[in-house]
Amino acid sequence: MSTGRFHHVALGDVGSTNDEVRSRLDLADQGGLVVTAERQLQGRGRRGREWTSPAGNLYSSFCFCPTVPLARFAELSFISALGVAEAATEVLGGRADVRCKWPNDVLADGAKLSGILLETARTPAGRDAVIMGIGVNVASAPTDTPYPAFALSALAPETTVQRVLAMLSMRLTLWTETWERQGFAAVRRAWLGMADGLGKPVIARLADSELHGLFEGLDDDGALLLRQDDDTLRRITAGDVFRPPTR
């Protein structure tokens, strides 16, 4: 199985794959690294949220040392989501509508398919590294969440974790190398081509407020552009974005 630019380390039960990568950062100095696990016992998502990790799903953390400044590493959240979305689209073969939801979620028919968590680290050689923790619901999806969740097996029961990993690794290899050579613009265009709710009303929940408006696109650095009712254009750099409920 090819994993592109990433050397593969396969494990059984772990605390979290991101933590396992941190204990192997010397391999990041030698090139790309991906650690996978059969289960995570202490999986985590954005803002410290717990990520349920039963066997049968993909739990992976990709790590490499980008050739771009540390300040641009946040752009990799869009690459991670794009890689998952393109891999899922290939697996599902058009049987579901796969979309990227800002900032780094992936939806299939409106339900959450994956979890993505980016962290940074320093390698033993003193280089800046990024850790892209990516979980994909392959065999099962959680049922105790405040939002609908989706597993690939619902529409593609023949799918295996190994196949999803191979596809995801190749897509991440393609997009990380494109990003390093050409910058964020190509990634931005591709992400917008799969964006959920583009041009439609959305609700942005920030730390201390809630904003309503039209999702107009992404700024050059990945900030969400929200056209508010008074026609002002607001940049959203952090928060959760939702489509308003249909009536």
- Name the residue type at position 245: P
pLDDT digits 0-9 by tens, 101-112: 998 999 999 999
How does residue 247 score in pLDDT terms, banded at 50, 70 and 90? Answer: low
The predicted structure's pLDDT at residue 50: 57
| Lookup result for tokens 């990380």 | 176
3-state secondary structure of 88: helix
Determine contact, residues 6/32, Cβ cutoff 8 Å. Answer: yes
Torsion angle of the four alpha carbons 110, 41, 37, 171, in this order, in degrees rounded to the nearest 10: 30
Burial (Cβ within 10 Å: 0-12, 13-18, ≥19) of residue 87: buried
How does residue 100 score in pLDDT terms, banded at 50, 70 and 90? Answer: very high
Strand blocks (E) in 140-246: 201-205, 210-218, 224-227, 233-236, 240-242
Average pLDDT over residues 106-128: 96
Q: Which residues contact 225 (CB under 8 A, 6 or more apart)?
A: 215, 216, 217, 218, 219, 233, 234, 235, 236
Identify the structural domains of the chain with CATH numbers, from first to last. Answer: 6-193 (3.30.930.10), 201-242 (2.30.30.100)
The predicted structure's pLDDT at residue 47: 47
Determine contact, residues 97/182, Cβ cutoff 8 Å. Answer: no
pLDDT digits 0-9 by tens, 48-85: 455 567 889 999 999 999 999 999 999 999 999 999 99
3-state secondary structure of 11: strand
